[in-house]
Amino acid sequence: MPIWMEVFVLMLLAYAIGMGIGWAIWGRAS
Amino acid sequence: MKFLRRPSIAIASGAFAVFLLARFVAGASAPDFAARLTAQAPAVITQAGGGNRVRAIFLSPRGLPSRHPLLVGGEPLDEPTRAEIATAVASIPGVGGIRWSDGDMMAIGGEPVFRPLHCQEDVQALLRARTIRFEESSSRMDIGSNELVDEVAAALRPCLGAIIQITGHTDNSGPEPGNIALSTERARAVRAALIERGIPADGLRTRGVGSQRPVDGLDPADPANRRIEFSVIATEPIRPTPVDTPAPR
C-alpha cells in the first residue's frame, strides 16, 4: 500500500471520529 | 454554499477534502521518507547476513513510495537467514510489513523433490515454438493464444493428480514490484484458462518472479524474457510456515 493511501485512511478515520464526537456534543441538541 | 446544508453532501465533500489533503501531505513528504528507509536498509541487511545480494525496494506495485518493502535477491539464502533479514529490516523505525519477491505465505520444507513427468516435456515442446501472448502490460490473454492453451491443457491431462506450477516471467523494463505483480497476474490468468478447460484447480500453482530469472544467455531487458513456464512436480513440497514468523515466503 503506498504511503499516501495509508495517510488517507488514517485521516479519514480521524475525520469520522471528529464527526462522531461533534454529532454527540452538538448534533443531538438541535 | 447552500448545497452544503444537506448532511450527506457536506460529509462527502469533507471526505473529498480529506482525500486531497492526504494526497498533498503524502506527495510532499513520502518520497523523502521512502528514500530515508531505502538508505538505511542496506547496512541493516548486511549486518543480518544478507550481504549485498538482498535489496529492499520501498515501492508499491504501481511504483509509488511505500513503507512496506519488497525484498529481492534472497532466493539462494536459507530460511533462518531470510527470517533474520526480514526481522532486521522490519525493526527499522517506520518500516511496515515485509514481502519477499519470491514469496507467498508458505515455507518450503527441506529440499523439495522434483520429478518431471513426461507431460512437462510435451508442454515445453509446445511452448518452444510458440508462446502464450498477452496484451501489453495487462494480464488479458491474446485471442490468438486460445488454441495454444487448448493444446497445453490437452498435454497436461496425463499429469492429472500431479502438482503443476505455472511461473510468469517479464523483462526488466519498469519497476520490479510491478513486474512481479504483472507476472503473477499472468500466471493466474493462464491458471484460470486451464481451469476453464477442465484441469482441476487444486493441482495448479501459480507464481510470478518478475525479471529475476531471465532466459539463460539472454539480456534481462530482452522482451523474449516475457514468458510463461510450466513445471510438473510430482509431490507437493509445500508446508505451512509457523504463525508469527516475520519472514513469509
The answer, yes or no, to whether residue B239 has pLDDT greater than 50, is: no
Query: Considering only CA atoms, which of B35, B87, B105, B23 is closest in space to residue B66?
Result: B35
Q: Which of B57, B62, B66 is most worth mutating to test chain A (most A CB atoms within 10 A of its CB)?
A: B66
* Domain stops at, among B78, B108, B138: B108
Cβ of B11 within 8 Å of Cβ of A12? The answer is no
Q: Which range has the top average pLDDT, B98-102, B154-158, B204-208, B234-238?
A: B204-208
Q: Hey, are the CB atoms on A11 and B30 less than 8 Å from each other?
A: no
Distance from CA of B27 to the nearest CA of A (A): 7
Q: Do B185 and B101 belong to one domain?
A: no
A3:B23 CB<8 A: no
Domain end among B40, B73, B108: B108
- What is the average pLDDT value for chain B, to the nearest integer? 80
Query: Do B221 and B123 belong together in one domain?
Result: yes
Percent share of chain A, pLDDT over 70:
93
Residue-wise pLDDT for B202-230, tens only, equals: 888 888 888 888 887 788 877 778 888 88
Q: Is B58 inside any structural domain?
A: yes
Answer yes or no: do B86 and B165 share one domain: no
Residue B155 counted as domain residue: yes
For the ranges B13-17, B49-53, B115-119, B141-145, the lowest mean pLDDT is seen at: B115-119
Residues B211 and B166 in one domain: yes
User: Are both B129 and B48 inside the same structural domain?
Assistant: no
Residues B123 and B104 in one domain: no
Query: Pick from B11, B27, B60: which is nearest to A19 by CB?
Result: B11
User: Which of B11, B14, B26 has the CB atom closest to A4's CB atom?
Assistant: B26
| Least confident segment among B145-154, B155-164, B176-185 | B155-164
CATH number, domain containing residue B193: 3.30.1330.60
Give a yes or no: residue B223 inside a domain: yes
As given in the structure block, the three cell numbers for residue B95 are: 518500516
> Which ranges constitute the DSSP H helices of chain B?
7-47, 79-90, 118-129, 146-156, 176-196
**C-beta of residue B230 within 8 angstroms of C-beta of residue B120:** yes
Q: Which residues of A touch B60 (CB under 8 A)?
A: 1-2
Retrieve residue B80's grid coordinates: 533462518
Q: Which three cell numbers stand for residue B67?
A: 513503507
**Distance of alpha carbon B62 from alpha carbon B223, whole angstroms:** 20
Taking only the tens place, the pLDDT of each residue in B110-123 is: 555 555 556 777 77
Does residue B229 share a domain with residue B125? yes
User: Is pLDDT at B5 greater than 90 in this prediction?
Assistant: no
- Co-location of B159 and B77 in the same domain: no
Global ipTM? 0.85
- Domain total in chain B: 2
User: Could you say which of A4, A8, A15 has the minimum Cβ distance to residue B14?
Assistant: A15
> Is A6's CB within 8 Å of B67's CB?
yes
Residues of chain A with pLDDT under 70: 29-30
Chain B residues with beta carbon closer than 8 angstroms to that of A30: none
Q: Do residues B177 and B70 touch, judged by C-beta distance below 8 A?
A: yes
Residue of B nearest to A8 (CA): B22
CB nearest to A4's CB, from B11, B14, B30 = B30
Tens of pLDDT, residues B58-98? 988 888 899 888 888 877 888 888 888 888 888 888 888 88
Same domain (yes/no): B188, B103: no
Cell of B148: 495454444
Domain assignment of residue B71, given as a range? 2-108
B68 → closest Cβ in A1, A8, A11:
A1
Last residue of a domain, one of B108, B134, B149: B108
Please give the share of chain B, as a percent, with pLDDT higher than 90: 12
Give the gap in angstroms from C-alpha A2 to the nearest C-alpha of chain B. Answer: 4
For residue B136, being part of any structural domain is answered with yes
> Is B205 inside a domain boundary?
yes
Task: Say yes or no for a CB contact (<8 Å) between B18 and A1.
Answer: no
Residue B106 has pLDDT above 70, yes or no: no
